[in-house]
């Protein structure tokens, strides 16, 4: 199922933030497992999209494909208009580092490192000096509402705060696309709501966000909901604002 037309709130002059063209992923084995089956999806700049579906429907695989963490068996993936199919490992690393921001269920913060330096780490592989990294990290932490917790280490923070640090790290380099993998999976309902609220606010500020979740309720709060089933797009609904 392909989205036709220009979604509201997008910028027609810019290329799509992400485009999957009949992407399939088959894991070899006996029998081979088709995790993604010829998926098409276009995400315009400024959109916020929830990808939902039951366990094993291919959500994680799709996230890995979208994030260029793994290669598709067939099909084409364009990130910010760039075809990633034939790129070397090195080039893919550069695309991940510059164009995509990742938010994971388990945060993946460095334990002995302050919130500020964890966020600054998001710029580590872009050849930016430490002082500039920290400056930009400070701005990012302010954006996620953690301006008062910059010098704290993750172990002294709540789960919700940790996830906000991770979100700040994902946006510190101003990526074309933020990919969140079950961002509320490890959080209580109150913290979850705050994280969803934060994602929505970042969307309002112009970020392009894709949230992979099995939480339908959370997905219902977002502008667009893509439902996967058995590796195929079952539905793609847009909420009228």
The span from the CA of 214 to the CA of 222, in Å, is 13
Q: Which stretch binds another protein (CB under 8 A): 48-56, 99-107, 196-204, 217-225?
A: 99-107
Smallest gap from residue 73 Cβ to another protein (A)? 14
In the region spanning residues 184 to 213, those forming contacts with another protein, defined by CB under 8 A, are none
Which of residues 16, 58, 67, 160 is near another protein by CB under 8 A? 67
In angstroms, the Cα distances linking 141 to 18, 98, 168 are 26, 19, 6
- Regarding 27 and contact with another protein (CB under 8 A), the answer is no
Q: Which stretch binds another protein (CB under 8 A): 86-94, 138-146, 210-218, 231-239?
A: 86-94
The span from the CA of 114 to the CA of 149, in Å, is 9
Which of residues 32, 74, 83, 91 is near another protein by CB under 8 A? 91
Contact between 85 and 77 under an 8 Å Cβ cutoff? The reply is yes
| Rg of the chain (C-alpha set) | 17
Which of residues 2, 6, 74, 126 is near another protein by CB under 8 A? 126
The span from the CA of 150 to the CA of 176, in Å, is 25
Which of residues 83, 125, 147, 237 is near another protein by CB under 8 A? 125
Find the length of the chain: 241
Nearer to another protein among residue 75 and residue 97 (C-beta)? 97
Token pair 């099995």 in the structure block, residue: 214
The span from the CA of 235 to the CA of 219, in Å, is 13
**Residues of the shown chain interacting with another protein in the complex, contacts defined by CB under 8 A:** 64, 67, 69-70, 82, 89-91, 93-100, 102, 104, 106, 108, 110-113, 121-122, 124-127, 129-130, 169
């Amino acid at each position: 199922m392909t989205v036709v037309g220009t979604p509201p709130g997008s910028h027609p002059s810019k290329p799509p933030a992400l485009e999957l063209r009949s992407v399939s992923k088959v894991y070899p084995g006996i029998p081979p497992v088709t995790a993604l089956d010829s998926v098409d999806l276009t995400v315009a700049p400024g959109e916020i999209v929830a990808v939902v579906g039951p366990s094993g429907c291919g959500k994680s695989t799709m996230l890995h494909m979208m994030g260029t963490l793994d290669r598709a068996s067939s099909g084409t993936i364009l990130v910010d208009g760039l075809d990633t199919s034939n790129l070397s490992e090195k080039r893919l690393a550069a695309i991940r580092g510059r164009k995509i921001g990742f938010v994971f269920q388990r945060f993946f913060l460095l334990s002995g490192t302050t919130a500020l330096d964890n966020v600054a780490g998001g710029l580590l592989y872009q050849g930016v000096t430490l002082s500039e990294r920290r400056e930009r990290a400070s701005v990012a932490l302010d954006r996620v509402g953690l301006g008062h917790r910059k010098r704290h280490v993750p172990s002294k923070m709540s789960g919700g705060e940790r996830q906000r640090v991770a979100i700040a790290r994902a946006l510190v380099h101003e990526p074309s696309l933020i990919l969140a993998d079950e961002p509320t999976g490890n959080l209580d309902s109150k913290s979850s709501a705050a994280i969803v609220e934060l994602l929505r606010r970042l969307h309002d500020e112009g970020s392009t966000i894709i949230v992979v979740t099995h939480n339908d309720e959370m997905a219902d709060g977002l502008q667009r909901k893509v439902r996967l089933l058995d590796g195929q797009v079952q539905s793609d609904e847009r909420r009228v604002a």
